[in-house]
Amino acid sequence: MTHRDRTPKHIKLDERHHVELPLLKQLDGLGWDVIDLTDKKQTPADTDRDSFTDVILPKVLRSSLTKINPLLEED
């Protein structure tokens, strides 16, 4: 057994529990819609994308832009 295997779980530092989850909790507290798909087989549709290569959420962006600027035309 290595030294890492004997470290109690509450002491282990990992990105998921010490970075990602606190950030998601903070964003949720600020009113953001949090999509946490860690424990699920993910598909692009789960995040309103056509492909995982999309770096933005096009449908959400389009909706948000029309909310803040109602004079925008469809094209």
- Per-residue model confidence as pLDDT tens digits over 16-34: 888 999 999 999 999 998 9
Residue 9 has pLDDT above 90, yes or no: no
Show the tokens assigned to 49: 């994308």
- Per-residue model confidence as pLDDT tens digits over 35-75: 888 877 888 888 888 888 988 888 888 888 999 998 888 77
Say if residue 29 is in the same domain as residue 43.
no
Say if residue 52 is in the same domain as residue 70.
yes
Q: What angle do CA 51, 53, 71 make, to 5 degrees?
A: 80
**Would you state the pLDDT for residue 22?**
93
The parent domain of residue 11 ranges over 1-34
Largest CA distance in the chain: 65
Give the chain's domain count. 2
Say if residue 72 is in the same domain as residue 43.
yes
**Would you state the pLDDT for residue 1?**
46
Residue type, 64: S
**What backbone torsions phi and psi does residue 42 show, to the nearest 5 degrees?**
-90, 145
**Would you state the pLDDT for residue 3?**
56
The model's pTM is 0.55
User: Distance between CA 64 and CA 69 in Å, rounded?
Assistant: 8
